Amino acid sequence: MKAKKNFLQGALFGALIMLCGTGVVSCGIRLSEDASSEEKLSVLKGLIDENYIGDVDEEALEEGIYKGYIQGLEDPYSVYYNEEETKDLYETTEGEYSGIGAVLSQDLESGVITLVQIYEDSPAAKAGLKDNDILTKVGDIEVTGMDLSEVVTYIKGEKGTDVDLTVLRGEDAEEITVTATRDTVEAQTVKYEMLEGQTGYLSVSEFDSVTYAQYEEALNELTAQGMTGLIVDLRNNPGGNLNTVCEMLDLVLPKGTIVYTEDKDGKRETATSDDEHQINVPMVVLVNGNSASASEIYAGAIQDYGIGKIVGTQTYGKGVVQQIFDLGDGTSVKLTIAEYFTPNGRSIDGEGITPDVEVEYEADENNPEADNQLEKALEVMKEEQ
């Protein structure tokens, strides 16, 4: 009986192996411990050529090597871009592209991607997408955890073409799939209006090449209307171009340091403001946990010079600078090259900017337009005016 039992156990185990369809097979190849990467890649290619049953895209294999090499840095901000991704990347930084008109933000710990802003009259808005929708799929591609820049390349595309997007909405995480028709979108990165008490309100959604001109126009228009105080809203602003935010700060800061960076060798580069322009009315800067990078440079400078109050919640804490390197063949790589510091020498990487007045956002179900953080900013402004 024991022998029979062992036989049955062996038969069941063998059947399980067959059902699973997996097994370990020795390939008869022995790499030395000091084998070069070229030798190992050659062995892997040989195994694929001889054994892999699927279709092989040699170009995709090569791209995978480059992407994996940069991913080995374990730096979420350093990325390799192929030709198509590089083209889309440069279009994005210019502020004009063929896409759907939505601002995306990603939580680095969970990999969750949120549509933090939908442009008015954009393809995204026409398709029914809303602020704070959680993006889960582009077409059939699961995007949670994927590099945000790569996700953007899937969303953008030729004008007139369609893209399906699946999102989770609301507390019940209702799954919704919509189809958006891509169109030429010029990022409307600045919105402004005059609020009560002649307080100017200026919202900046990102720092692109087009942002400076929009920001300068908004400041001039609000000033012409008799602005006696200014609220700059950087909530959900993921950052952008370092030069752009420095040019914008030069319009409001007194003469002095805007921000400085230090590279791996300790070499310092400093951006400064002149005394030609500076704000002469009280300021309040609104921030939250999605205010990152260039947004934190802006808020940090205003706070260090003491020319405005920071209101909201702790910012994201991205205090490092990336540079895009053109590899000469249409591809590129983005690498973290330096850490930045506020005028007073504060490093906020992993820490963020702590508001002078902390207030959590509280949604009002009875009044979707209500904004308790903005209301607090107006209260603070009244005290300063």
Catalytic residue selected from 105, 273, 293, 332 = 293
347 is catalytic: no
User: What are the Cα distances from residue 280, in Å, to 2, 49, 254?
Assistant: 93, 70, 10
Task: Estimate to the nearest angstrom the gap between the alpha carbon of 235 and the chain centroid.
Answer: 13
SS percent in the chain: helix, strand, coil, step 5: 30, 30, 40
Which of these, 297, 329, 335, lies nearest to 316 by C-alpha position? 297
49 is catalytic: no
Catalytic residue selected from 67, 318, 334, 376 = 318
137 token code pair: 């799929």
Catalytic residue selected from 304, 309, 334, 376 = 304
Any residues with CB less than 8 A from the CB of 360 and at least 6 apart, and which?
313, 373
Cα separation of 164 and 254, whole Å? 48
2 is catalytic: no
User: What are the Cα distances from residue 365, in Å, to 115, 307, 362?
Assistant: 20, 35, 10
Residue 308, beta-bridge partner list: 283
The catalytic site residues sit at 293, 304, 318
